[in-house]
Amino acid sequence: MDPLLAVADATQAPRDPTTGPPPVLEDREGRLYAIGDIHLSYKVNREELEKLHPRQDDGLILCGDVGETPEHLREAFKQATSCFHRVWWTPGNHELYTLPKQKEHGARGEKKYEECVEVAREFGVLTPEDDFVLWEGEGGPCLIAPIFTLYDYSFRPAHVPLEGALDWAKEEHIEATDEHLLHPDPYKSRIEWCEHLVNRTEHKLSAAVAANPGVKLVLVGHWPLREDLVRLDRIPRFSLWCGTKKTENWHIKYNAKVVVSGHLHIRRTDWRDDTRFEECSLGYPRQWQDCKDQGMDINDMLREILPGPVTPPPDLRQTVWRRYG
């Protein structure tokens, strides 16, 4: 079983970032927020989304796992764009699912991703297929860089060979639903798709850094970039589906000020090499019920990315386990 499972019944070519400066948001003194894993297959989470407060000068990042269907995406994008000046989205594994009822006619793999991108464009939401935008609000200037990388089962102990990785996880009764619903078409495997995505993303990030010397990036993805940020005490072998070691040094290589992710349903802040890492999941209702019991709602669960918290001195940069945003 998948311990994180929620129960759920490109036509525009991006501009080559080497040909000129990136688009700039209108001059606003807003803040940038993020939230991921809002899982709109749950009625409670859908009701919470409706409570989102207007922040017309601010930006919002939705870092994956909005839901499993185009309807989930439309619901999220409609509400988010009505409340925020600019919205970014990057896919999680749940957006890429082809549900059993869609087995015969539903989009699969890369086509499912492209379907999601088209829905985002209906609402003007920026995706990994669009230009990186220069944020000049509080905490800027920074390039906001949504990315899509997937995973390749490399987040595993050294003694576990790739060919035995799935059996190793099954020994603890762990098997992600991705193995049944996230198809790699047209690639032979999710590993091959991941390799393609990583290579493609590296090219785009390298071009952006070269074209914007000295400008920091905010890297926005669903899966954690680093294995050492994946701590799942109750289900450690779920790490197989949590990222790829190929992105381990991207925060240095691509001059990242902040790296934003979700997927783990464990809110935390970490520092590596002067870069702040923010895990921004909301999660399933039971996983944030204690916050609701204290009178909090979705607005309290938003994480401020820019300007964000004050940078602590190096000797005090320990993991901060965040109860809420």
Average pLDDT, the chain: 92
> Whole-prediction pTM value?
0.91
Q: If one looks up domain 32-310 in CATH, what number appears?
A: 3.60.21.10
Q: What is the pLDDT of residue 9?
A: 31
Q: What is the pLDDT of residue 23?
A: 61
Question: Residues 292-314: what's their mean pLDDT?
Answer: 96
Contact between 98 and 112 under an 8 Å Cβ cutoff? The reply is yes
Share of the chain above pLDDT 70, in %: 91
| Annotated domain spans of the chain | 32-310
Residue 290 has pLDDT above 60, yes or no: yes
Least trusted range by pLDDT, from 96-105, 195-204, 245-254, 283-292: 96-105
Residue 218 has pLDDT above 70, yes or no: yes
Q: What is the pLDDT of residue 104?
A: 75
Angle (deg, nearest 10), helices 110-122 and 70-83: 30
Q: Residue 150: name the closest of 199, 92, 189, 217 by CA.
A: 92
Identify residue 16 by its one-letter amino acid code: D
Q: What is the pLDDT of residue 1?
A: 39
Q: Is the dihedral of CA 168, 169, 172, 173 positive or negative?
A: negative
198 phi and psi, to 5 degrees? -65, -45
CA distance 271 to 277: 6
- The confidence band for 105, taking pLDDT boundaries of 50, 70 and 90, is confident
Q: What is the pLDDT of residue 32?
A: 98
Q: What is the pLDDT of residues 261-288, one digit of tens each?
A: 999 999 999 999 999 999 999 999 999 9
Q: What is the pLDDT of residues 135-165, one digit of tens each?
A: 999 999 999 999 999 999 999 999 999 999 9
- The confidence band for 3, taking pLDDT boundaries of 50, 70 and 90, is very low
What DSSP letter does each residue of 19-80 carry, written as one string? SSPPPB--S----EEEEB---TTSHHHHHHHTTPPPEEEEEEEE-S-S-SSHHHHHHHHHHH
